[in-house]
Structure 1
């Protein structure tokens, strides 16, 4: 009996809780449809919504005048440089090589002992004189048919042989003198006066630094755009203000390993500010042409190359392009775009091909 009474109380409590705490939902909505049906319809509508439109900024592609400038590095080289070496053996008797001094073309730098060669030259002088006297007598005898023509030819040949030997010895004597082949500055001495020299012994170097050469390399893709006579500007950490050089020679070969072409320019150096071996930075003009340029932030690097997004009929359409030279703000487009294309330059990371976009107007 007690158990039945407890069960009755529990049933009553549950009934009251349902009435007061769990009211029955309305079976009608404001539109006359069941609330459950309306909720499903709303959920279905949300899941069917399209991708939201992305506001973007554009750059209108157009043809502009482009002054192509290629930035490369180069090295200053002397106009002329030579190692002054001995050609014959002998004791170094005179050395006029003052390190760093300027010498004129033909000036004596070093002198090797030539006493033995001079003595031989005196001997050859006597032999030549005797051969000439014999040739003169033979010529008079030939005139009166006192000797044969063959005997006279032998005497004449002796004269010529003596003269040739003398000229050979004089050439050897000239080799005992080391003279400046051109005007320039002497380098550091490699030997001292009194040393015994052999052929090939280095005495010093001679360098001509006015004008100077500047050698640099350009990628092969720009090889056809370099012209002899074109001015190039260059600078270095030790120069301050930039200077100008002129392209004078272009290598006819492309380096197979680096795929670059060597170019040489000349510039005057009267004050000696440009020292051979100096590193310089050059701006090489590649000519002016009409081309399309776009902001660099519009470029998207991909495995196939580079692409941009173009607005067409309210959609972002990816377009692959081929680029040329660039600077810190713009890049040249050689293929892929035409004047009038609307290139997207903002929200690039949020875009995909076919996404809906809206062009933002600048305030």
Structure 2
């Protein structure tokens, strides 16, 4: 032993080599274990997160196109004075219902009756002159130019007579169609000039909702289909899609649409906000709270569910929505959707799902 000890004392490098070999063997053993069992090492470092899930079952719902607009009159016109004069009578009150042809107001005739008699007499005289010139032309005592002048005089008298008759007719302001006298701008004694407003008449039957359809929606709807309408402060009613524009608006790239509502008793007013639902085909959809929606790394909307204890992100399409939730297509007939903890996990992560009621 004394020999061995002296021998080692004289050779310290042997001890250093021996210690180095032990360190290399220990390090190699540790790295090998990590390479052989990387999953076990990772699991020891990071515990599996727990998420709460609920099972949602799909149901058949009607896919819809939702539009927003306001109710408007089918037609609206402002009647203006075609002759000048004083208002002598008014026959309809503002807000009253009028039929086509009903008299709204009358303008004083003034000198129009006298002018009518004058041009009637003038026309009769010029016709006599024309027939006399025509006979003279046949006998060769009248030139063709003189005969043409007499015919022109007859035509001028006819035109003036027609103008006076039209002016007399325009002194009576009548409704061009049935509707509501929404506004009357004159009273008895008012003087109106040509072009001044007399009254405004609105046709409220049918009542029309004018809205705009996107280029993706326009291929799904057709004229004549039934529309479900929710008017502000009213119960849901039905209308009909009566018109779709064939050319899109250049600025918005949308198509103008008109939905007509029967309004025979004028119970619905113009100017009310309206939401229109155009039902399409039946689709399978799951109803969720909007709070359960998520975005992927590309900004696509979807939901996170659990399949075989791993998180799956599924892109969805929104079918319809209301105050109680949204209906989504693109999912299966039954899905385990994460309802708590979805913000802390990513697609592909292993999780420990805990079931709960939706």
Fold similarity call, TM over 0.5: yes
Q: Does 1:300 align with 2:294?
A: yes
- Give the Cα separation in 1 of the matches to 2:186 and 2:72: 25
Q: Which residue of 2 aligns with 1:288?
A: 281
Q: Does 1:52 align with 2:45?
A: no
Give 3-state SS (helix, strand or coil) of 1:141's partner. Answer: helix
Q: CA deviation at 1:72?
A: 4.4
Asked whether the equivalents of residues 56 and 345 of structure 1 are also in contact (C-alpha less than 8 Å), the reply is yes
Q: Which digits, 9 at most, give the CA deviation of each residue in 1:211-250, with x for residues without a partner?
A: 21122345554333232112112233543x3211111112
Q: CA deviation at 1:356?
A: 2.4
RMSD: 3.5
Decide which of 184, 207, 216 is 2:211's aligned counterpart.
216
Q: Does 1:244 align with 2:233?
A: no
For structure 2, the residue ranges without an aligned partner over 5 or more in a row are 1-39
- Give the Cα separation in 2 of the matches to 1:260 and 1:113: 50
Give 3-state SS (helix, strand or coil) of 2:222's partner. Answer: coil
Q: CA deviation at 1:90?
A: 1.4
- Give the Cα separation in 2 of the matches to 1:322 and 1:159: 80
Q: CA deviation at 1:265?
A: 0.9
Asked whether the equivalents of residues 58 and 359 of structure 1 are also in contact (C-alpha less than 8 Å), the reply is no
Report 1:255-266 matches (<5 A).
261-266=255-260
Q: Does 1:323 align with 2:317?
A: yes
Asked whether the equivalents of residues 94 and 111 of structure 1 are also in contact (C-alpha less than 8 Å), the reply is yes
Q: Which digits, 9 at most, give the CA deviation of each residue in 1:30-84, with x for residues without a partner?
A: xxxxxxxxxxxxxx9999365236465465887x644123444432212222122
Q: CA deviation at 1:281?
A: 3.4
Instruction: Pick closer, same or farther for the CA change 1:122–1:54 going to 2, 3 Å.
Output: same
Q: Which residue of 2 aligns with 1:40?
A: none
Q: Which digits, 9 at most, give the CA deviation of each residue in 1:67-109, with x for residues without a partner?
A: 1234444322122221222122212222223333332222222
- Give the Cα separation in 2 of the matches to 1:361 and 1:68: 30
Q: Which residue of 1 aligns with 2:265?
A: 271
Give 3-state SS (helix, strand or coil) of 2:177's partner. Answer: coil
Decide which of 316, 322, 344 is 2:337's aligned counterpart.
344
Decide which of 97, 106, 116 is 1:102's aligned counterpart.
97
Asked whether the equivalents of residues 311 and 345 of structure 2 are also in contact (C-alpha less than 8 Å), the reply is no
Instruction: Pick closer, same or farther for the CA change 1:330–1:179 going to 2, 3 Å.
Output: closer
Decide which of 308, 312, 328 is 1:332's aligned counterpart.
328
Q: CA deviation at 1:292?
A: 5.7
Instruction: Pick closer, same or farther for the CA change 1:309–1:185 going to 2, 3 Å.
Output: closer
Give 3-state SS (helix, strand or coil) of 1:309's partner. Answer: strand
Q: Which residue of 1 aligns with 2:132?
A: 137
- Give the Cα separation in 2 of the matches to 1:197 and 1:46: 92
Q: Which residue of 2 aligns with 1:35?
A: none
Q: Which moved more, 1:149-158 or 1:350-359?
A: 350-359
- Give the Cα separation in 1 of the matches to 2:43 and 2:176: 91
Output the TM-score relative to the length of structure 2.
0.73
Give 3-state SS (helix, strand or coil) of 1:135's partner. Answer: helix
Output the TM-score relative to the length of structure 1.
0.72
For structure 1, the residue ranges without an aligned partner over 5 or more in a row are 1-43
- Give the Cα separation in 2 of the matches to 1:131 and 1:86: 32
Asked whether the equivalents of residues 54 and 356 of structure 1 are also in contact (C-alpha less than 8 Å), the reply is no
- Give the Cα separation in 2 of the matches to 1:54 and 1:213: 54
Give 3-state SS (helix, strand or coil) of 1:115's partner. Answer: coil
Q: CA deviation at 1:118?
A: 2.3
